[in-house]
Amino acid sequence: MKRVYNFSPGPAAIAPEVIQQAADEMTNWRGCGLSVMEMSHRGREFTEILKTTKDDLRSLMSIPDNYKILLMQGGAIAENAIVPMNLIGHKSQPATIDFVNTGHWSVKSIEEAHKYAKVNIAASSEDSGFHHVPARDTWKLTPDAAYVHICTNETIGGVEFDFTPDVGNVPLVADMSSNILSREMDVSKYAVIYAGAQKNIGPAGLTIVIVRDDMLGHALPICPSAFDWKLVDEHDSMFNTPPTYPIYIAGLTFQWMKRQGGVAAMEKVNIAKAKLIYDYLNSTDFYINKVPAANRSRMNVPFFLKDETLNSKFIAEAEQNDLVQLKGHSSVGGMRASIYNAMPLEGVQALVAFMKDFEKKYG
Ligand SMILES: *Cc1c(COP(=O)(O)O)cnc(C)c1O
């Protein structure tokens, strides 16, 4: 099977072992004569897949017992509405939500929240081009806010939190779409964690929501039933038909991660991968990355050629070297290497070797 090194930001690379296992099992899951795609979500086989998937995620992230795991749909963008609809119903309206604005995905969350609540921008790095995470002691939080929202990794800007903020008794909500399971996180510091699966877990179509149980039951009356976390939890993520195939692939990824040694082992490799590429970026001015060291994302590495007229040559020659999907997001241009868990160290070594060659050739 021909495989290339896939640097896509999402839908992103899935571990080759997982793809192969899915291929082997696709037409006949473990001898039951059915593909997972055509099983009833309430049948014995899928019930087992669902349970194992949730149990494995709980153990990988050390999710405490008082947290629910909800397997939903709509992606992080739907959660931008689902989160406020679920968390402000018990407050006098309009409730206030505090946001820390660190880039593209924070902006999206903020825009959507305006429909439901009063928004307070507690801190923002917009003035400096969204290159860093504002230090905690600069945040201007609202004492009775319904919650504080952060995006722990800005996938487009390549800016990642290097700390877990203490926000007192106000619930902390995090969009972890692009760095969930990439590093050890203390789940108990968060009230809600959500993430689309297509960056670091599996195929698009599945959204993971991890929610502390005291956050349930606060939904606004307008919240659609299928998005009301309390109902979703009461129906074990089967209030509506869940995305069964993406859940199955996510489960295979969780088993693969466990075989690798879990999140701690993934984090070690992720640190090594990020160091390799940032060390090289530090050593040259042929390529540019403006994020200060402390906030450089381990998952998404945007970089720019000093001479931007070489961009299309870079992309084309990278592809000839089996290094694909390196084009930067249209809003910022340049290049971006997304190096999620499924990207092996060898892939980053191949990329850095190519970048060095390219510099020699055109620098
Ligand atoms: C990709 C991404 C999103 C958007 O996810 P959808 O699945 O398209 O809703 C939101 N937030 C972050 C941090 C992302 O990386």
Distance CA(149)–CA(171), nearest Å, equals 9
Q: Is the CB of 297 under 6 A from ligand 1?
A: no
Is 182 in the same domain as 315?
A: no
Q: Is the CB of 175 under 6 A from ligand 1?
A: yes
Q: Average model confidence (pLDDT) for the chain?
A: 97
Ligand 1 atom 10: the closest Cα is on which residue? 76
CA distances from 143 to 99, 121, 140, 150, 212 (A): 13, 13, 9, 17, 20
> Which is catalytic among the residues 56, 98, 175, 228?
175
Is 172 in the same domain as 275?
A: no
Q: Is the CB of 158 under 6 A from ligand 1?
A: no
Distance CA(68)–CA(135), nearest Å, equals 30
List the one residue out of 50, 34, 31 whose CA is nearest residue 42.
Answer: 50
Is 57 in the same domain as 149?
A: yes
Q: Is the CB of 105 under 6 A from ligand 1?
A: yes
List the one residue out of 319, 61, 297 whose CA is nearest residue 160.
Answer: 297
Q: Is the CB of 79 under 6 A from ligand 1?
A: no
Cβ within 8 Å of residue 92, ≥6 positions away: none
Assign residue 329 the CATH number of its domain. Answer: 3.90.1150.10
- Domain annotation covers residue 4: no
Residues paired with residue 212 on neighbouring β-strands, in sequence order: 67
Give SS3 for 43.
coil
- Domain annotation covers residue 284: yes
Is 69 in the same domain as 183?
A: yes
Is 241 in the same domain as 288?
A: no
The alpha carbon of 219 and the centre of ligand 1 are apart by a number of angstroms equal to 23
As given in the structure block, the two tokens for residue 266 are 């993934």
- Domain annotation covers residue 59: yes
Distance CA(330)–CA(315), nearest Å, equals 14
The number of the ligand 1 atom at minimal distance from the alpha carbon of 78 is 9
Is 246 in the same domain as 297?
A: no
Distance CA(87)–CA(214), nearest Å, equals 10
As given in the structure block, the two tokens for residue 203 are 């195929």
Ligand 1 atom 6: the closest Cα is on which residue? 75
List the one residue out of 252, 283, 99 whose CA is nearest residue 303.
Answer: 283
At which of 235, 259, 283 does a domain end? Answer: 259
List the one residue out of 356, 341, 355 whose CA is nearest residue 298.
Answer: 341
> Which is catalytic among the residues 54, 98, 105, 229?
105
Q: Is the CB of 248 under 6 A from ligand 1?
A: no
Residues paired with residue 130 on neighbouring β-strands, in sequence order: none
Mean pLDDT, 10 residues at a time, over the chain (363 residues)?
90 97 97 97 97 98 98 98 97 96 98 98 96 98 97 98 97 98 98 98 98 98 98 98 98 98 98 98 97 98 97 97 97 96 98 98 95
Ligand 1 atom 7: the closest Cα is on which residue? 75
Is 56 in the same domain as 90?
A: yes
Assign residue 28 the CATH number of its domain. Answer: 3.40.640.10
The number of the ligand 1 atom at minimal distance from the alpha carbon of 198 is 7
Give SS3 for 49.
helix
199 is catalytic: yes
As given in the structure block, the two tokens for residue 164 are 């877990």
Residue 2: the pLDDT is: 74
Is 113 in the same domain as 187?
A: yes
Is 164 in the same domain as 250?
A: yes
Residue 1: the pLDDT is: 61
List, for residues 81-107, the tens digit of each pLDDT value: 999 999 999 999 999 999 999 999 999
Q: Is the CB of 151 under 6 A from ligand 1?
A: yes
Domain that holds residue 32: 17-259
Is 211 in the same domain as 331?
A: no
233 is catalytic: no
Distance CA(218)–CA(280), nearest Å, equals 49
- Domain annotation covers residue 7: no
Cβ within 8 Å of residue 96, ≥6 positions away: 117, 118, 119, 120, 142, 144, 145, 146
Distance CA(100)–CA(45), nearest Å, equals 43
What is the tally of structural domains in the chain? 2
Residue 3: the pLDDT is: 86
Distance CA(307)–CA(283), nearest Å, equals 17
- Domain annotation covers residue 6: no
